Structure 1
Amino acid sequence: MASKEVLAIVFLSILLHGAVTTKVVDGANVIDRCWRGQPNWAANRQRLAACSVGFAGKMRQNRGPGVIPYTVTDPGDDPVRPRPGTLRYGATVLGGKVWITFQRDMHIRLAQPLFVKSFTAIDGRGADVHIAGGAGIVLHRVSSVIIHGLHIHGCRSQPEGLAVRPGGAVQPAGGMDGDAIRLVSSAKVWIDHNSLSRCEDGLLDVTVGSTDVTISNNWFFNHDKVMLLGHDDGHAEDRRMRVTVAFNRFGPSVNQRMPRIRHGYAHVVNNVYLGWKDYAIGGSMGPSVKSQGNLFVASAAADNKKVTRRMPVAGREWDWASIGDSFLNGAVFKQTGSRVRPNYNKHQAFAAASSNQVKSLTKDAGVLRCSVGSAC
């Protein structure tokens, strides 16, 4: 991307989002309104678990008197024999329901992928935590997981090695391509307020039958292939996949897959898109997409103004609808088929805001600056 175009997109981002603030919570962002205005958020961290919406629903199984509080004090990583105090020990080895926080700012380089167990919340609020320069995070056949408040960047595929898995077995950890976060056959997962960029492969993959996932309030930037929903064209199990993509900021310097969907259903709502090169939303194998109340800003110098890209397969039906989206710089969305509703239950449902509210809804996307004793 030309340097002048990058500067133009950065300037547009500033205009859209304004100065960074952690004090004022936009009333239409139902997730942030639920917890951010409370000065005592650090004394009641588990309140966050009741604030999720979309297909993940409320994460109430991650809260309660049986949850073990665990503090990361050591940024080191031994993938085979994790030490108490490290992130891997709390996220993989420690039994029961766990709520993980961080004692201080830290940079963690994972020597092998971090396999997170079920009923785990990783909560970076109050510290500046970077998972960077090594492997990424894997959710493999787990449920009820929250990942909140982490900088994840520079993830790379690692040489073949061993890593402990949930339950204590030490197994080969090969086959990981350098994703920031990968979901494999997992359900009821909430990814919220993280900043993700510059990884070797994807920033976020939801694959192999994973479903009931909410991806909200994240900032995705400086990356090619951003988000993949669905393993491959031949994996029919992903037809049951349901993912909510809400209140996120895409860009600057993003190329494609925001998201790319195979087979399943995606509700893409109240996000801002600050340019793309190939496409913003794409798919194959006839997925259903409801794009609602988003703001699509095509790059001024880009040849491609099309928001969507379909990779057609004969005999597949496409139900892609744009409802209340806004388009700038010539952006255009091609609709096909019927409007398919997400059919949320009462624990998942939320009201979509108008696209003219998106710049305020997403101004604090990514990691928040939270201090104990003041509103986040």
Structure 2
Amino acid sequence: MVSKGTNYVLQHFLLAIVIVIFFTPKYCFAKKSKLLGLKMNVIDQCWRPNSEWRKYRQQLATCSVGYVGKMTNNIGKSLIHYKVIDSNDDPINPKPGTLRYGASVIQEKVWITFQKDMNIILLKPLLISSFTTIDGRGVEVHIANNACLMIFKATNIIIHSIKIHHCKAQTPGTVMGPNGKVTHLGQVDGDAIRLVTASKIWIDHNTLYNCEDGLLDVTRGSTDVTISNNWFREQDKVMLLGHDDGYVRDLNMKVTVVYNHFGPNCNQRMPRIRHGYAHVANNLYLGWMQYALGGSMGPSLKSEANLFIAPKIGSKEVTWRKTGLTNEDKWEFHSVRDAFENGASFAVTKGGRVPKPNYSKEQSFKVRDVKLVRSLTQSSGAFQCSRTSIC
């Protein structure tokens, strides 16, 4: 027979167990629940709710949308996991443990992470090899104050959660090439990231600002590119799609620009497009001085469900078109379900069809209502991930 005293102790013991079972998980996952309550875009929803994302970093490769498609070529059994432990740089003889060794020397699939917060000053542009992922989640990585990134004749590359800024023009010189061999590199403008004859490139969740030339160039026949979740700010020329007016190979260029935050203090080229096609969707434009969307050589651009907030001073018109061309009537700049604030306006192409992205099944995504743009872009830029595993 159980005494009253023993029964009293047993009741309190069982109550304590109930409290542990029902309340501790709620406490532990409070931040996760808050995260799940956000109106995340489809890319972030794919991996961010997983509190153990550090163990499953490669899940990110399944989350891309737009013309880049899925990045599953970047993962698999043969994947090399490489950790940067040294912030130094040697452009010709990179040492193991440095970023250049992982990005340029290793010629197999490689997933690059960082041991700790780092400020990396590249002595020459970093030429990134095919099938390389640079993943800065969990730490704060700056590539700044000299040379920056170039993707030259390479494919299947992810650049994720890096802060790239104050990039400077570079004189010609020798550097470790993307094939692991020293090569001669000509004059390089001061861009944060430049694509040259590159394909299947995903630029996601980076913060880019204050560079000598531009922040992101997609040039010389580069195509199948998705630019997503980035924060572009403090820059004159932001994004160039297409090498120059005479480079007709860019007719085949296809770029998706989605969930990015432009501003403050961006002047022009968000993007400027030549020849090819761009699908620009669910982006936030926090002002401009000259224009937001522009181009030449009869490009096609579908602007869909973007929020354009015009500046207090400067041009209220979103678009700019280079005039005096023989193919002016081939312009296709269309605005579909965009929203305009502070007097912003969009000079659309009169008549004709609205060009469709014609995405494949793995590229397609649902463009959300423009009312959600602020929520969809609120996490744009490089992540500041907490010690509790939540990004």
Q: Does the pair score TM above 0.5?
A: yes
Q: Displacement, 1:82?
A: 0.2
Matches within 5 A, 1:118-157: 118-157=130-169
Quick one: which of 305, 309, 323 aligns to 2:336? Answer: 323
Partner of 2:322: 311
CA distance in 1, matches of 2:252, 2:334: 19
CA distance in 2, matches of 1:25, 1:338: 38
Partner of 2:210: 198
Q: Which moved more, 1:249-258 or 1:25-34?
A: 25-34
Q: Displacement, 1:335?
A: 0.7
CA distance in 2, matches of 1:94, 1:314: 47
Which 5+ residue runs of structure 2 have no aligned equivalent? 1-32
Contact 2:240 2:272 in 1 (8 A): yes
Partner of 1:220: 232
Partner of 1:335: 348
Extract structure 1 runs of 4+ deviating beyond 6 A.
none
Question: 1:296 corresponds to which letter in structure 2?
Answer: F
Q: Displacement, 1:315?
A: 2.5
Contact 2:171 2:188 in 1 (8 A): no
Change in Cα spacing, 1:372 to 1:42, as seen in structure 2 (3 Å) is farther
Q: Displacement, 1:24?
A: 4.7
Q: Which moved more, 1:222-231 or 1:172-181?
A: 172-181
The alignment partner of 1:359 has SS state of helix
CA distance in 2, matches of 1:315, 1:126: 48
Q: CA RMSD in A?
A: 1.3
Give CA-to-partner distance per residue, 1:79-132, whole Å, 9 cap, x none. 000000000000000121000000000000000000000000000001100000
Q: Displacement, 1:174?
A: 2.5
The alignment partner of 2:175 has SS state of strand
The alignment partner of 1:358 has SS state of helix
CA distance in 2, matches of 1:40, 1:368: 16
Q: Displacement, 1:158?
A: 2.2
Give CA-to-partner distance per residue, 1:139-168, whole Å, 9 cap, x none. 001100000000000000123321010222
CA distance in 1, matches of 2:185, 2:36: 43
TM-score by length of 1: 0.92
1:111 aligns with 2:123: yes
Specify which structure has the bigger relative contact order, considering alpha-carbon pairs within 8 angstroms and separated by 6 or more residues.
1
CA distance in 2, matches of 1:53, 1:42: 21
TM-score by length of 2: 0.89
How many residue pairs were aligned?
355
The alignment partner of 2:55 has SS state of helix
CA distance in 2, matches of 1:287, 1:123: 33
CA distance in 1, matches of 2:300, 2:355: 7
Contact 2:202 2:226 in 1 (8 A): yes
Q: Displacement, 1:190?
A: 0.2
CA distance in 2, matches of 1:70, 1:261: 36
1:52 aligns with 2:64: yes
CA distance in 1, matches of 2:244, 2:34: 39
Partner of 2:242: 230
Partner of 1:268: 280
1:361 aligns with 2:372: no
Q: Which structure is larger by alpha-carbon Rg, 1 or 2?
A: 2
Question: 1:45 corresponds to which letter in structure 2?
Answer: R
Question: 1:264 corresponds to which letter in structure 2?
Answer: G
CA distance in 1, matches of 2:192, 2:156: 19
CA distance in 2, matches of 1:194, 1:347: 23
Question: 1:182 corresponds to which letter in structure 2?
Answer: R
CA distance in 1, matches of 2:356, 2:55: 38
Q: Which moved more, 1:78-87 or 1:165-174?
A: 165-174
CA distance in 2, matches of 1:54, 1:251: 23
Question: 1:349 corresponds to which letter in structure 2?
Answer: S
Partner of 1:181: 193
Matches within 5 A, 1:57-68: 57-68=69-80
Quick one: which of 344, 366, 376 aligns to 1:351? Answer: 366
Partner of 2:98: 86
Contact 1:25 1:37 in 2 (8 A): no
